[in-house]
Amino acid sequence: MKTYLVGGAVRDRLLGLGHGDRDFVVVGETQATMEAAGFKAVGRDFPVFLHPETGEEHALARTERKSGRGYRGFVVDADPAVTLEEDLQRRDFTINAIAEDEEGHLIDPYGGVRDIEARVLRHVSPAFGEDPLRVLRAARFMARFAGLGFTIAPETMALMREMVASGELAELTAERVWQELRRAITSEKPSAFLRTLHDCGALAVVLPEVEALYGVPQRAEYHPEVDTGVHVELVCDMAAQLAPGDELVGFCALTHDLGKALTPEHVLPRHIGHESAGLAPLRALCERMKVPLEHRQLAECVCRDHLNVHRLPELRASTVFELISRCDGFRRPERIPRIALACEADKRGRAGLSDVDYPSGRLLRDAHAAAMAIRASDVPGELQGPELGEAMRKARIAAIAAATGKKP
Say which amino acid occupies 282.
Answer: L
Rounded CA-CA distance 211/195 in Å is 10
Residue among 166, 174, 157, 77 at smallest CA distance from 130: 166
Q: Would you state the pLDDT for residue 307? A: 98
Does residue 396 belong to any structural domain of this protein?
A: no
Does residue 324 belong to any structural domain of this protein?
A: no
159 and 80 share a domain? no
Q: Would you state the pLDDT for residue 66? A: 64
Q: Would you state the pLDDT for residue 68? A: 57
pLDDT tens profile 250-288: 999 999 999 999 999 999 999 999 999 999 999 999 999
- pLDDT tier for residue 243 given thresholds of 50, 70 and 90: very high
∠ at Cα 384 (378, 388), nearest 5°?
50
For the CA atoms of 390, 391, 394, 395, the dihedral, rounded to the nearest 10 degrees, stands at -150
- pLDDT tier for residue 44 given thresholds of 50, 70 and 90: confident
Count: domains in the chain:
2
Does residue 363 belong to any structural domain of this protein?
A: no
- pLDDT tier for residue 84 given thresholds of 50, 70 and 90: very high
What CATH code is carried by the domain that includes residue 13?
3.30.460.10
Does residue 12 belong to any structural domain of this protein?
A: yes
Residue 17, C-beta contacts closer than 8 angstroms, at least 6 positions apart: none
Q: Would you state the pLDDT for residue 383? A: 72
For range 65-82, the mean pLDDT:
70
pLDDT at 72 over 60: no
pLDDT tens profile 354-387: 999 999 999 999 999 999 999 877 777 677 778 8
For range 129-136, the mean pLDDT:
94
Q: Would you state the pLDDT for residue 46? A: 74
226 C-beta neighbours (distance < 10 Å), count: 16
Rounded CA-CA distance 123/200 in Å is 15
Does residue 262 belong to any structural domain of this protein?
A: no
Residue 3, classed as helix, strand or coil, is strand
CA 407 to chain centre: 40
pLDDT at 81 over 60: yes
Residue among 116, 136, 143, 122 at smallest CA distance from 244: 143
Q: Would you state the pLDDT for residue 67? A: 56
Residue among 131, 134, 130 at smallest CA distance from 197: 134
pLDDT tens profile 176-198: 999 999 999 999 999 999 999 99
| Cβ atoms of residues 408 and 401 within 8 Å | yes
Domain hosting 49: range is: 1-114
Tell me the helices (H) and strands (E) count for the chain, helix number first.
19, 11
Mean predicted lDDT score pLDDT of the chain: 93
